[in-house]
Amino acid sequence: MTRFLASASLAALLTACASISIAEDVEATAAEVAAMTPASMPQVGDDLLTVYRGLHSNPELSFKESASAAYLADELRALGFNVTEGVGDDWVKAKAMRDEGEVREGVGGYGVVGVLENGDGPTVLIRADSDALPVPEQTGLPFASQVRAETWTGVESGVMHACGHDVHMTSWVGAARNLVARKDEWSGTLVMIIQPAEEIGLGAKAMIDDGLFERFPQPDYNLALHVSAGAPSGTIAYSSGWALANVDSVDITVKGVGGHGAYPHTTVDPVLVASHIVTSVQSLVSRNVNPQTPAVVTVGSFKAGAKHNIVPGEAQLLLTVRSYDDDTRQLLLDGIERIAKGQAAAFGAPEPEVTSESDYTPSTYNDPNLTAKSVAAMRAVLGDEKVVEVEPVMGGEDFSQYSRTDAKIPSLIFWVGAVEPSKYEASKESKLPLPSLHSPFFAPDAAPTIETGVTAMTATALSLFNED
């Protein structure tokens, strides 16, 4: 894609992940980790925590994830994902696997794909996202990010894994290690992918457009996890059916006729027109959408004018629009355009420009059958009380793209609690909320969060490989 920017300053991540020192006050010993591990699962040791801290200290922005991709691709190679197995004398199949089944980098930008065939059975895809956010870190952790970089839109900022993608990648590594170590317990094809640019909603589509499901085995199931900043570590939360929303961005440029503020009768005031648009678009949810159907229309930016006594020539509104089903999405988008043009006409203003991004993030639907199978597997190793169903949210995730292809692949993304339990309990009685995702203060309770993520993902994959 044309949005790639160089990331040479982070090229040392390979070395960092292998050798970063762990501060005494945050180090989890093998014994501590073992105490949190179900007996049926391999333990996550200090080596995996070192991977996490290395990734956390060296974040990379969207479409700049070169060093992270290289490190994780090498992790798969070390696990044997580039070895053709189980094909016998079928040289045609063997050649195809060598051509397309080894670890590949550069898929859809800095995407990584590794394929491991382990006999007959279903194909299971496990995805983790790798990009960080332009957020200066303020956690105070000894391994906090000091990285600064320029976004693909040209803004320089501190960079931080404020959305937990470092946990996602580390859990992905742990799950891959577990599944390779337990190859004699499952049969099928494992596809491990690292996806770039989730934070700007373009990475999944980039990988699909680059032939993810044509160049590599098409999965029977897609799996992913995401940390939760509102649930205690050691727990899993999930939604069956709708899980995350369609995310559309709409820009409205309201045209007017500028002039002196003392003589408004000689102008067509775009501020007045835009103000009526802001008020009227709220009627879409309250009067046009079924009350039992979730929908959100939020005006996040209103820009107009530069001086007290000047009526500007135009005003600009920036909106975020959220929905679950595609019919409601279209109703909201059509309604915004209708209201904007209607209000402008009512005030005698020129027709406004209403544009929405074609690369929107579609809603995420957790296949109910896949969800039920996966929840049963997770509860078997974590306990019923640790795996809870929650309401869907109006946030967005481009993991949804993998199930939106013509193949309609059953998919599941689940939440992994990331809050230290005592802090979670204390927050219930405090007026101060916990740091949210994208906060500069967000610091996951790393060891048990990663442990739970690895355990849940491993158990789910094993259950799908062995469902027959």
Over residues 194-205, the pLDDT tens digits come to 999 999 999 999
Q: What is the mean pLDDT of the chain?
A: 88
Phi, psi (deg, nearest 5) at residue 150:
-105, 130
> What pLDDT does 9 receive?
34
pLDDT at position 187 over 90: yes
Strand partners, 107: 111
Binning pLDDT at 50, 70 and 90, where does residue 358 land? confident
3-state secondary structure the chain: CCCCCCCHHHCCHHHHHHHCCCCHHHCCCHHHHHHCCCCCCCCCCHHHHHHHHHHHHCCCCCCCCHHHHHHHHHHHHHHCCCCCCCCCCCHHHHHHHHHHCCCEEEECCCEEEEEEEECCCCEEEEEEECCCECCCCCCCCCCCCCCEEECCCCCEEECECCCCHHHHHHHHHHHHHHHHHCHHHCCEEEEEEEECCCCCCCHHHHHHHCCHHHHCCCCCEEEEEEEEEEEECCCEEECCEEEECEEEEEEEEEECECEECCCHHHCECHHHHHHHHHHHHHHHHHHHCCCCCCEEEEEEEEEECCCCCEECCEEEEEEEEEECCHHHHHHHHHHHHHHHHHHHHHCCCCCCEEEECCCCECCEEECHHHHHHHHHHHHHHHCHHHEEECCCCCCCCHHHHHHCCCCCCCEEEEEEEEECHHHHHHHHHCCCCCCCCCCCCCCCCHHHHHHHHHHHHHHHHHHHHCCC
How large is the average pLDDT for residues 313-327? 98
In the chain, CATH 3.40.630.10 covers 8-244+363-465
Q: Residue 147 has which token pair?
A: 């990285």
> What pLDDT does 82 receive?
72
> What pLDDT does 261 receive?
97
Residues 6+ positions from 170 with CB-CB distance below 8 Å:
48, 51, 52, 55, 450, 453
> What pLDDT does 198 receive?
97
Per cent of the chain over pLDDT 70 is 86
What kind of fold does domain 246-356 have according to CATH?
A: Alpha-Beta Plaits (3.30.70)
pLDDT at position 29 over 50: no
Task: Check residues 4 and 402 and name the one with the higher pLDDT.
Answer: 402
Q: Residue 316 has which token pair?
A: 């600009």
381 close to 41: Cβ distance less than 8 angstroms: yes
Over residues 368-399, the pLDDT tens digits come to 999 999 999 999 999 999 999 999 999 999 99
Q: Which CATH superfamily is domain 8-244+363-465 in?
A: Zn peptidases (3.40.630.10)
Task: Check residues 216 and 8 and name the one with the higher pLDDT.
Answer: 216
172 close to 227: Cβ distance less than 8 angstroms: no
- Residues noted as catalytic: 131, 198
What's the pTM value of the predicted model, to 2 decimals?
0.86
Binning pLDDT at 50, 70 and 90, where does residue 44 land? very low
| Nearest partner of 382 among 36, 76, 23, judged by Cα | 36
Torsion angle of C-alpha atoms 130, 131, 132, 134, degrees rounded to 10: 180
> What pLDDT does 46 receive?
64
Round to whole Å and give the CA distance between 213 and 210: 9
In the chain, CATH 3.30.70.360 covers 246-356
How large is the average pLDDT for residues 449-454? 98
Residues 6+ positions from 338 with CB-CB distance below 8 Å:
none
Strand partners, 259: 311
Per cent of the chain over pLDDT 90 is 81
455 close to 374: Cβ distance less than 8 angstroms: no
How large is the average pLDDT for residues 149-159? 91
Strand partners, 441: none
> What pLDDT does 238 receive?
98
Over residues 286-313, the pLDDT tens digits come to 999 999 999 999 999 999 999 999 999 9
Residue that has been written with the tokens 């135009």 in this structure = 314
CA atoms within 13 A on the CB side of 262: 0
> What pLDDT does 45 receive?
54
> What pLDDT does 19 receive?
35
Over residues 417-434, the pLDDT tens digits come to 999 999 999 998 887 789
Over residues 74-119, the pLDDT tens digits come to 999 999 997 444 444 454 554 454 444 479 999 999 999 999 999 9
> What pLDDT does 96 receive?
52
How large is the average pLDDT for residues 272-277? 98
